[in-house]
């Protein structure tokens, strides 16, 4: 027994050394693995670090359309530690080419210097003037609120860009208008010269055969507020309704942009024709109705895409560019009353109803 005991002690001693070496090896391996993870900074391993997201908006803040998109985007990433930086291009209120080029250059420099983990852009101006300069760049880009075909910007096939398309609820909006005023047979479409509208017009025209008993007889591209007033006045005896799409870049006599809210107020006060659009913010300023594109849903979908890229490690070009589908009927009861239209209770109960003009609140 003693001999056996003496023989076991050296074995235990060497065995302990073996155990120590084994644990040392494991710790060293873990250290090297961790260092390698830090060096590669893969999306899955970046969960614990503070991420930087730059939001380049084509327009300005506060405005319901841009606010809703950003709020939806942030909600999709609410549990992720993120530092947001917002850049406003403000091209609804300042639409001349020199301004667009100026703010685009500033946004481009900000991206290069701040080096965000992802850039979230919305609406078409930011795509045309900023994102197109970063196609196949290392920084991932996610967009929302884009009306044009992504092919026009060179996004299709790019390795670092994906996003959410804004496709208006055209058929549903016309059908809502017809329910409110069944007399509508002829409609004129009003546009400004912004980059959003060619894509919208193309989609509208492609669906005209789906609309029964209504003809779209004029498509007017307008540049000045004076011209807008003249055309709206002339349309009073030519058509039964107006589609108010582009109303943002009209110039006054001094060459300055007229606020779209002033355009809509003038229309509500001087036009006796029912009108529709595709965005909810128009309704409180006098447009009769819409089945609106939801800005929140646009931003939420974009945020989910950003999450796949930053957290799950998906490549942007593996995420399909798609439109959101959810729309909501919105009606201005104030405008209906002013036009002498009686809206059926069933329609009101299934819609968001605006009972006062914004300027009366």
Please check whether residues 220 and 342 belong to one and the same domain: yes
Pick the more confident residue, 20 or 188: 188
Residue 31 placed within a domain? no
Number of domains comprising the chain? 2
**pLDDT of 280 strictly over 60:** yes
Residue 43 placed within a domain? no
Please check whether residues 77 and 145 belong to one and the same domain: yes
- Mean pLDDT on 177-199: 95
Strands 51-57 and 161-165: unpaired
Dump pLDDT digits (tens) for 127-145.
Answer: 999 999 999 999 999 999 9
Please check whether residues 214 and 341 belong to one and the same domain: yes
pTM for this structure? 0.71
Please check whether residues 136 and 105 belong to one and the same domain: yes
Q: How many CB atoms lie within 10 A of CB 151?
A: 9
Here the CATH number for the domain that contains residue 142 is 3.40.50.2300
Looking at residue 47, its pLDDT comes to: 52
Looking at residue 92, its pLDDT comes to: 87
Q: How many CB atoms lie within 10 A of CB 62?
A: 6
- Mean pLDDT on 50-63: 95
Please check whether residues 115 and 127 belong to one and the same domain: yes
Residue 1 placed within a domain? no
Dump pLDDT digits (tens) for 297-333.
Answer: 999 999 999 999 999 999 999 999 999 988 899 999 9
Looking at residue 48, its pLDDT comes to: 65
Please check whether residues 152 and 214 belong to one and the same domain: no
Please check whether residues 336 and 202 belong to one and the same domain: yes
Residue 16 placed within a domain? no
Please check whether residues 160 and 228 belong to one and the same domain: no
Range of the domain at 57: 50-167+296-323
Q: How many CB atoms lie within 10 A of CB 225?
A: 19
Q: Residue 48 in 3-state DSSP?
A: helix
Please check whether residues 95 and 132 belong to one and the same domain: yes
């Amino acid at each position: 027994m003693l001999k056996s005991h003496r023989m076991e002690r050296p074995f235990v001693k060497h065995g302990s050394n073996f155990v120590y070496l084994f644990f040392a090896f494991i710790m060293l391996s873990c250290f090297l693995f961790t260092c390698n993870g830090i060096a590669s900074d893969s999306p899955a391993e970046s969960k614990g670090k503070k991420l930087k997201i730059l939001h380049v908006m084509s327009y300005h803040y506060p405005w319901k359309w841009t606010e809703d998109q950003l709020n939806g985007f942030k909600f999709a990433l609410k549990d992720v530690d993120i530092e947001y930086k917002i850049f406003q291009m403000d091209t609804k209120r300042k639409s001349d080419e020199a301004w667009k080029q100026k703010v685009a250059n500033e946004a481009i420099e900000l991206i290069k210097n701040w080096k965000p983990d992802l850039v979230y852009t919305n609406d078409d101006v930011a795509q045309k003037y900023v994102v197109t300069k970063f196609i196949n760049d290392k920084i991932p880009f996610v967009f929302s609120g884009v009306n044009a075909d992504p092919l026009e910007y060179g996004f299709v096939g790019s390795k670092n860009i994906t996003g959410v398309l804004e496709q208006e609820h055209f058929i549903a909006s016309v059908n809502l208008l017809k329910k409110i005023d069944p007399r509508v047979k002829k409609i004129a479409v009003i546009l400004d010269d912004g980059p959003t509208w060619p894509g919208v017009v193309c989609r509208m025209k492609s669906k005209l055969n789906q609309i029964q008993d209504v003809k779209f007889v004029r498509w007017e591209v307008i540049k000045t507020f004076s011209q807008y007033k003249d055309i709206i006045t002339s349309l009073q005896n030519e058509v039964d309704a107006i589609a108010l799409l582009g109303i943002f870049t009209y110039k006054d006599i001094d060459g300055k942009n007229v606020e779209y809210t002033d355009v809509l107020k003038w229309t509500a006060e001087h036009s006796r024709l029912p009108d529709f659009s595709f965005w909810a913010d128009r309704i409180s300023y006098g447009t009769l109705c819409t089945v609106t594109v939801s800005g929140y849903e646009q931003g939420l979908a974009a945020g989910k895409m950003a999450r796949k890229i930053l957290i799950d490690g998906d490549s942007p070009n593996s995420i399909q560019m798609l439109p959101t589908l959810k729309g909501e009927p919105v009606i201005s009861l104030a405008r209906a009353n002013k036009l002498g239209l009686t809206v059926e209770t069933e329609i009101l109960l299934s819609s968001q109803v605006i009972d006062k003009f914004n300027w009366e609140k």
